[in-house]
Amino acid sequence: MDPSAREEACFEAGIKFGALYHQFAGTPVSPESATSLEHAIEEAITNQPHCESVAVDIDPEKLDTEHGYTELGGEHMTVEMGIEYEGREVTARMAMENGYPLMAIESVTE
């Protein structure tokens, strides 16, 4: 059986999160560079098909180390994205939950 448009829309959200996390995890980031990295991530992921919006929030307080920077990880950011596929709109979010950067579908509208 072929996947439904709803399932395809959710799959597209997963693809975007996989690209975002695995492309940018490990990027050196400091409190001073967090905003420019947020914008770079948003612009890069928005280029992908069916991606309507991406909002990345990197918490600068979690970046402050004795060296002045750290490597970006899931614990440093919250991400929300909007996907549109054949009339289905998906809102997905990544945020820390129980010590893990959980990526989840928040809503799907027809």
Indicate if the pLDDT at residue 101 is higher than 90: yes
Class of domain 5-109: alpha beta
pLDDT at 64: 79
Sign of CA dihedral 101, 40, 32, 35: negative
Q: Are 49 and 9 a contacting pair, CB within 8 Å?
A: no
Domain boundaries of the chain, sorted by first residue? 5-109
pLDDT given at position 74:
95
**Cα 20–84–50 angle (5° rounding)?**
50
Over pLDDT 70: what percentage of the chain?
A: 100
pLDDT band with cut points at 50, 70 and 90 for residue 110: confident
Mean pLDDT, to the nearest integer, of 54-82? 94
Kindly report the average pLDDT of the chain as a whole number.
Answer: 95
Q: Rounded mean pLDDT of 59-80?
A: 93
